[in-house]
Amino acid sequence: MTRIIGLTGGIGSGKSTVANYIASKGIPVYIADEEAKKLMNSEQLLTKIQAIFEENIMTDSGNLDRKKIAEIVFNAPEKLTELNKIVHPAVKIHFDNWVKLHKNNPFVIKEAAILFESGGNLTCDKVILVTAPEELRIERAMKRDKVDRASVMKRIQNQWSEEEKIKRSDFIVNNLDLKTTLNKIDQILKILSKQ
């Protein structure tokens, strides 16, 4: 049975860098946010998602206007709840099918920003948390997303606290510098391979 290893971390923690590194080792990595974006633009979900919102949330090219949706849901948490009720079950089905494709691997990685918030950790055998001091995470996110501090803070406030995530994680990777972080990931992968 293929084990599912969760990989998560708050905004600016560096979890995407870690996910890419793990994938470069030939280990299957499922990037939940990317897959959710693709599924949200599928015909099947588009109509359901548009029905949640009063205003048009489509771009001229016929895709979802993710920026507009983000603005709406940040100010209307009930809309986010409705959106999640459509997207999360679709991602779960997609992920379960993806795991079947990799059933010959001893383990796969499920990378999700809101692994704990969505309850995704409950289906994981182990969880790796990538963390960093809040100030460093804010700086990284501002630089990467070209947004102001207030935008990053709003996103941080919508995620669980680092303390809560640490309590529920099996492996903690404090990402201060890349070399040390990747060495730590190598050690974790070695441990997982032996289990």
Does the annotation flag 47 for ligand binding? no
Residue 181 zone, left/alpha/beta (φ > 0; ψ -120 to 50; rest): alpha
φ and ψ at residue 139, rounded to 5 degrees: -60, -45
Class of domain 1-28+106-195: alpha beta
Which is more confidently placed, 101 or 61?
101
Label residue 75 by pLDDT band (50, 70, 90). confident
β pairing state of 29-31 and 3-8? unpaired
Read out DSSP for 102-116?
A: TTTSSEEEEE-TTTT
Whether the per-residue pLDDT at 74 is higher than 80: the answer is no
pLDDT above 70 covers a percentage of the chain that reads 100
Cα angle 149, 150, 155; round to 5: 100
Strand partners, 131: 174
* 24 annotated ligand binder: no
User: Does position 158 have pLDDT exceeding 80, yes or no?
Assistant: no
Please check if 79 is assigned to a binding site.
no
**Is position 16 annotated in a ligand binding site?**
yes
6 is in an annotated binding site: no
Residues 32-51: what's their mean pLDDT?
91
User: Mean of the pLDDT values across residues 176-181?
Assistant: 94
Q: Per the annotation, does 17 bind a ligand?
A: yes
Q: Give residue 112's pLDDT.
A: 94
What are the residue ranges of CATH 3.40.50.300 in the chain?
Answer: 1-28+106-195
State residue 26's pLDDT score. 96
What number is the average pLDDT over the span 165-181? 96
The pLDDT, as a whole number, for residue 70 is: 84
CA-nearest of 124, 93, 87 to 108 is 124
Kindly tell me if the per-residue pLDDT of 83 is higher than 80. Answer: yes
Mean pLDDT: which of 44-53, 113-122, 143-152, 180-189 is highest? 180-189
26 near 94, Cβ under 8 Å? no
Q: Does the pLDDT value for residue 58 go beyond 80?
A: yes
